[in-house]
Amino acid sequence: MDLLEYQGKQFFATYGIPVSDGAATDNVDEAVAIADRVGYPVVVKAQVHVGGRGKAGGVKLANNADECREHASNILGLDIKGHIVKIIWIENASDIAEEYYASFTLDRSAKKHLGMLSAEGGVEIETVAEENPDAIAKIWIDPVDGLSEEVARAWVEAANLNPAANDGAVDILMKLYTAYVEGDADLCEINPLILKPTGEVHALDAKVSLDANAIYEHPEYAQYDATQPRDDREEAAHEKGLQYVGLEGSVGVIANGAGLAMSTVDVINQVGGKPANFLDIGGGANADVMAGALEVINNDPNVKAIFINIFGGITRGEEVANGIIEAMGRVQLDSPMIIRLDGTNADEGRAILQPHLSDMLMMEPTMLDAARKAVSLAQG
Amino acid sequence: MSIFLDENSKVIYQGLTGSTGRYYGLLNREYGTNVVGGTHPKKAGENVEGIPIFANATEAREATGANVSCVFVPAPGVQSAVIEAAEAGIELVVVITEGVPAQDEAYFYNLLKRDFPNTRLLGPNCPGLISPGKANVGITAGHIAKPGGPVGIVSRSGTLTYQALYELQQKDIGVTTCVGIGGDPVPGTSFIDCLAAFEADPDTKAVMMIGEIGGSAEEEAAEFIKNNMTKPISSYVAGVTAPPGKKMGHAGAIVSGGKGTAAAKMEALTDAGVRVGTNPTEAGELMAEIVAGL
């Protein structure tokens, strides 16, 4: 789950990391009230799940209430790369002496936590990594050992920050590591981490991604679910508990298992079609799940054909076939359905489907045949 | 021969008394797996269809000589179950449970590596492994695998593992062992671990490897193959056309910043001499060609 900046800052604040005084709102009057409270100048910042806010006019400095009102009303409703701004964050503007970068994430290859710290902050870390890799001080942390203050200090010294920032940086990095581990984050990033002229070190931005698998340890994370970026189709699928990703094409996809669903998307592309979605209905394929999946796909106006790709492992072919027939009785489909059913008891399953075959329900023996059929029907 | 699991393996199930653990534990026994026990802290002395329940993995091992454990406990209990099995001296711990937090995985992976180097972890979030005709531990449907050899399979995806087994069975090709390593961020056993074991196994003459987008496990495997594998390999990588930044249903299956794309993985594997198919069927056909030429 990716957090918006303001959620990330609130998350950081609970671990004692210094962030600017501010608040989030969805309306202009409240924006001005927040600005009056935190003190001018303030920064008005669009809260969207996409980078490049500044260039798009989503981040503005306001020196007084009138400017705050103007910026807030301009930014609310702004379209930033397809993301409409619904929430803005108003914070007291900070004086900046220097900008740094700090983050923790999992290095899947090393199977250890990776800490990155750089004196070159405020720009994309990918750019720094490409142009000046030596400017990033990296450490790999064994999760069993954790991060000691001694190691953190050596790391900060290796990053060659302004020495005046060293104590503050060590303190923030220790807290950031705690937030990353105890908060079950996949990523905790501060860019920029700033040194103020007064010598304090401070998190001016927050990029946090939390592990949805750990929600049982943090029931409060349920609040972040509401601000996840989803289109209407994805929202409907999410409500039904389906693993769905919206794509742009015309062939609806239903498959059991993430790998098979990805593979189905691949094969549709390979035979010249465009998939409308990725949808994994998991190991089972009962009528309830199938009906929910068909409903979501049928409501997508771009869909012209539906490819159901099921491989029976433990789930048997006849159970899958019965599920499809029952689901068809519940959902009035606008597009033809092409089924490929293979694996355990596939013959029994196909025998159940046989009497129901029509120009709205077709069966093909292999994944490739079914993909070709679906694509030709979708292209009409 | 087979790798990691054979007819002599004695298997306990942590979570045998739960509905999923019971279902698959009994299916595994029916397949012929030597199922010797289950564990539950409060149900010691009971049994599941004749399979004795012990209080913990150590008691189960002492009473039965178990050397393999299959973990079906819910995600919040996985970390302590894995450590319990390692402390009991279990040699292979297979975690089927999905939804384990990545922080937990990173912790127990490194703990086992340091303090319990003789315990191999497989998973979490994997279908398990099967040495056809000998033993099946996990959720793979046993009857879609033809026993014997000469092919070993290693896969990061559950359903595509079954697809691979089935493709080979349809072509009358046998399998020594099929290992599902799972798609989570910190898999206990890697492609490389399995490739090295297959290279050392005299009955395995060729290997089929099924990858997925995300991470760099396939690229690392390609490097290993180039330097260490003499046996021929066919491969397929799912997610060739996945858009960047989209999470495709698996914690593992995400492309970010141009890294971990299927194209990069396929290129690395091709460079290492692997025959790469563009879909699972093609990878199966390539393997049939390889087997015919052995």
Residue A253's pLDDT is 96
Q: Which of chain B's residues have a Cβ under 8 Å away from the Cβ of A257?
A: 157-160
Question: For every residue of chain A, which 3-state class applies, written as one string?
Answer: CECCHHHHHHHHHHCCCCECCEEEECCHHHHHHHHHHHCCCEEEEECCCCCCCCCCCCEEEECCHHHHHHHHHHHCCCEECCEECCCEEEEECCCCCEEEEEEEEEECCCCEEEEEEECCCCCCHHHHHHHCHHHEEEEEECCCCCCCHHHHHHHHHHCCCCHHHHHHHHHHHHHHHHHHHHCCEEEEEEEEEEECCCCCEEECCCEEEECHHHHHHCHHHHHHHHHCCCCHHHHHHHHCCCEEEECCCCEEEEECCHHHHHHHHHHHHHCCCCECEEEECCCCCCHHHHHHHHHHHHCCCCCCEEEEEEEECCCCHHHHHHHHHHHHHHCCCCCCEEEEEEECCHHHHHHHHHHHCCCCEEECCCHHHHHHHHHHHHCC
| B111-115: average pLDDT | 98
| B61-78: average pLDDT | 97
Q: What is the residue-averaged pLDDT of chain A?
A: 93
Residue A315's pLDDT is 72
Predicted TM-score of the model (pTM):
0.92
- Determine whether the interchain pair B249/A258 forms a contact, defined as Cβ–Cβ distance below 8 Å: yes
Q: Which of A189, A318, A319, A364 is catalytic?
A: A189
| Pairwise CA distance, residues A88 & A79, whole Å | 13
- Determine whether the interchain pair B163/A311 forms a contact, defined as Cβ–Cβ distance below 8 Å: yes
List, as ranges, residues 271-330 from A with C-beta within 8 Å of B: 275, 278, 280, 283, 311-314
List, as ranges, residues 196-225 from B with C-beta within 8 Å of A: 210, 212-213, 215-217, 220
- Complex ipTM, two decimals? 0.92
What share of residues in chain B are helix, strand, coil (percent, to 5)?
A: 35, 25, 40
Predicted confidence band of residue B257 (pLDDT cuts 50, 70, 90):
very low
Query: Does pLDDT of A293 surpass 60?
Result: yes
Establish if B29 touches chain A: CB-CB under 8 angstroms: no
Q: Which of chain B's residues have a Cβ under 8 Å away from the Cβ of A2?
A: none
Closest-CA distance of chain A to residue B45, Å: 30
| Pairwise CA distance, residues B262 & A48, whole Å | 29
Residue A343's pLDDT is 82
Q: What is the residue-averaged pLDDT of chain B?
A: 93
Length of chain A, please? 380
Q: Which of A6, A100, A101, A224 is catalytic?
A: A101
List, as ranges, residues 89-118 from A with C-beta within 8 Å of B: 106, 108-109, 111-113
| A97-119: average pLDDT | 94
Residues A329-345 pLDDT 10s = 888 889 999 999 988 78
Task: Please answer whether residues A277 and A245 qualify as being in contact, where contact means their C-beta atoms are separated by less than 8 angstroms.
Answer: yes
List, as ranges, residues 129-168 from A with C-beta within 8 Å of B: 142-144
Predicted confidence band of residue B247 (pLDDT cuts 50, 70, 90):
low
Closest-CA distance of chain B to residue A258, Å: 6
Predicted confidence band of residue B244 (pLDDT cuts 50, 70, 90):
low
B171 closest CA partner among B140, B205, B144: B144
Name the closest residue on chain B to residue A110, using Cα atoms: B186
CA angle A25, A30, A32 (to 5 degrees): 115
| Pairwise CA distance, residues A339 & A363, whole Å | 5
Query: Does pLDDT of A283 surpass 80?
Result: no
Predicted confidence band of residue B252 (pLDDT cuts 50, 70, 90):
very low
Worst-scoring range by mean pLDDT, A230-244, B15-29, B149-163? A230-244
A233 closest CA partner among A277, A274, A289: A277
Q: Tell me which residue has tokens 């409501």.
A: A299
- Determine whether the interchain pair A367/B162 forms a contact, defined as Cβ–Cβ distance below 8 Å: no
Establish if B253 touches chain A: CB-CB under 8 angstroms: yes
Q: How many residue pairs from chains A and B have C-beta atoms closer than 8 A? A: 162
B128 closest CA partner among B255, B20, B18: B20
Query: Does pLDDT of B259 surpass 70?
Result: no
Q: Which of chain A's residues have a Cβ under 8 Å away from the Cβ of B155?
A: 259
Closest-CA distance of chain A to residue B169, Å: 11
Q: Does A133 or B254 have the greater pLDDT score?
A: A133
- Determine whether the interchain pair A265/B241 forms a contact, defined as Cβ–Cβ distance below 8 Å: yes
Name the closest residue on chain B to residue A143, using Cα atoms: B107
| B91-105: average pLDDT | 96
Residues B171-217 pLDDT 10s = 999 999 999 999 888 999 999 999 999 999 999 999 999 998 888 89
Query: Does pLDDT of A288 surpass 50?
Result: yes
Q: Roughly what angle, to the nearest 10 degrees, separates helices B78-87 and B57-64?
A: 40
| B273-282: average pLDDT | 92
Alpha carbons within 13 angstroms on the beta-carbon side of residue A18 total 15
Residue B258's pLDDT is 52
Residues B125-147 pLDDT 10s = 999 999 999 999 999 989 889 99
